[in-house]
Amino acid sequence: MTFVQLIDCRTSRLDEMNRLMDDWVEQTKGKRTATHALVGRDRSDGSHIVEVVEFPSYEEAMRNSHLPETDKIFQGILALCDETPTFTDLDVVRDERLAEDTVRRFLRTLAAPGELPPLNDLLDEDIHSHDPADPQDTIGLDNARKEYGMWRAAFDFGFTVEDVLAQGERACARWRWDATHKGDFLGIAPTGRQVAMTGTTMFRFGADGKIAEIWWHDDRLGLMQQLGALDELET
């Protein structure tokens, strides 16, 4: 179970504290077990600092605490605090990764049977989509829906999402696309063939949490080969 330690302190020497934390990161390379650390300053009280440190488990957090470098840095931090810090140990019981959920829901929606939904709950009205196979970017929600509609008319398909990595306002998904060619695609008449394609897609989110920009990267050449479009070129 993921474990989080909440450290609450007061200091007027945040810059010095940050330098100490930088030293700790450098000194514990290859040994520390923390996976994520976040430091926040209270907007209503600039001396009130809260640090959130994430670990894979409580046991890993204890192993991290017992590193000699951790103890040394902690003593230095104590000296910089206006009062003794407080520690809260938390077992994570709910972890909502909102960007990851939006990415998975978007890809799932693109492949859903029936009429394509408006997508305005997932995509920004001014969505900007980049595709190396297209000379022009697709801009705007209506144009994006037309682009997705073209793929849906040509194929019955589904995405298998292998990985989603999210950080800040961006996320990246690695996926596999499996499809049946049922309609015209770039001048290629329906073949009924089972085809597959792998790819990655980068997403940028807007302030409202909707997808504002997309970069598609896929094996389009491999797809065209599976559809027989390159047969004449190979003979």
Residue 235 has a pLDDT of: 47
Taking alpha carbons only, the member of 226, 170, 171 closest to residue 198 is: 226
One-letter amino acid for residue 130 of the chain: H
Which residues neighbour 99 within 8 Å (Cβ) at sequence distance 6 or greater? 166, 171, 203, 205, 209
Beta pairing class for 155-167 and 123-130: unpaired
The pLDDT profile of the chain, 235 residues, written as one tens digit per residue, is 689 999 999 999 999 988 988 888 888 887 888 888 899 999 999 999 999 999 999 999 899 888 888 888 888 888 999 999 999 999 999 888 899 999 999 999 999 999 999 999 999 999 999 999 888 999 999 999 999 999 999 999 999 999 999 988 999 999 999 999 999 999 999 999 999 999 999 999 998 999 999 999 999 999 999 999 887 555 4
Q: How far is CA 186 from CA 49, 50, 74, 142, 228, in A?
A: 57, 55, 63, 20, 12
Which residues neighbour 43 within 8 Å (Cβ) at sequence distance 6 or greater? none
DSSP structure string for 58-87: HHHHHHHHTSHHHHHHHHHHHHH-SS--EE
Q: How far is CA 227 from CA 157, 167, 184, 185, 196, in A?
A: 15, 37, 11, 10, 10
Residue 65, beta-bridge partner list: none
For the chain, domains (ranges, CATH) are 3-91 (3.30.70.100), 98-234 (3.10.450.50)
Helix axes 58-65, 68-80, angle to 10 degrees: 80
Q: How far is CA 167 from CA 5, 54, 99, 101, 204, in A?
A: 20, 15, 9, 13, 10
Beta carbons of 27 and 76 less than 8 angstroms apart: no
| 3-class SS of residue 102 | helix
